[in-house]
Amino acid sequence: MTAVDDVTVVVIAKECLPGKVKTRLAPAITAEGAARVAAASLDDTLRTVQALPVTRRVLFFDGDVVPDAAAGFDVLHQPGGGLDERLGFLFDTMTGPTLLVGMDTPQFSADDVAPVLEAPERDAWFGPAEDGGFWSLYLRDPDGTYLRGVPMSQDDTGAVQRARLVDAGLDIGTLPTLLDVDLIDDAHRVAQLAPDSAFAAALAASPSVLTTGGSR
């Protein structure tokens, strides 16, 4: 059985710059507000990972300015290419049991990934997202071929990714289904799920485009 200490947790994220992140929150909030909301979501995620009982944490980062909340994380910069290629690179680079989580589920808690840490000897754990994608993926023996070629950001992404693992004969466990923050309605739902989060505070503090006169 694999010891929990052998599990590496990876957060995949991009630098939270206005106009580059959470663009689908517009026109409900400004680009600057969306960037602050995204940064808060990432900070919440990093803090949750920071508290997990593992010895190695990695930020798989697209950007230049690493957030302060990533203190103690190893930083691995993302290469070019599509998301499937970048994830393939990540899982080829990792050398031991690896748990990947995204930055768009700030409501994610230690309980949501507890099954992985309780049974890391399983071949894989899959965390589906409500929109048909996935928010988390664990591979005991990381291999990028499981991810390359999977169509990303589609409503069947999760189904295709899980089918890849099934077809490979892996023993797969399922994590709770979580809601990714993509649209403003998603953001408000997640803020209700995690009312004490930095994400909820940033969303509440973000003025709408309509109230600032930025839209007609």
| DSSP track, 44-56 | HHHHHHHTSS-SE
- Go through 52-82 and write b for each residue having 16 or more CB atoms within 10 A of its CB, e for each that does not: bebebbbbbbebeeebebbeebeebebeeee
Q: What is the pTM of this model?
A: 0.93
Q: Which neighbouring-strand residues pair with 127?
A: 136
Pick the CATH number of 4-206 from 3.40.50.970, 3.90.550.10, 3.30.70.3270, 3.40.30.10: 3.90.550.10
Which residues are CB-neighbours of 112 under 8 A, at least 6 positions away?
Answer: 127, 136, 175, 176, 178
- Cα torsion 188, 199, 138, 96 to 10°: value is 170
Give the whole-angstrom CA distance, residue 155 versus residue 135: 13
Q: Are 145 and 88 in contact (CB under 8 A)?
A: yes
Q: How far is CA 92 from CA 105, 129, 131, 164, in A?
A: 24, 24, 27, 16
- Go through 84-120 and write b for each residue having 16 or more CB atoms within 10 A of its CB, e for each that does not: bbbbbbbbeebeebbbbbbbbbbbbeeebbebbbeeb
CA R_g for the chain: 17
Q: Which neighbouring-strand residues pair with 10?
A: 58, 100
Q: What kind and span of H or E run contains 202?
A: helix 198-204
Give the whole-angstrom CA distance, residue 87 versus residue 92: 8
Q: Are 88 and 100 in contact (CB under 8 A)?
A: no
Give the whole-angstrom CA distance, residue 66 versus residue 3: 29
Domain ranges, ordered by start, for the chain: 4-206
Residue type, 49: V
Q: What is the block-wise mean pLDDT of the chain (216 residues), using blocks of 10 residues? A: 78 96 92 96 98 96 96 96 97 97 97 96 97 97 97 95 97 98 96 97 80 37
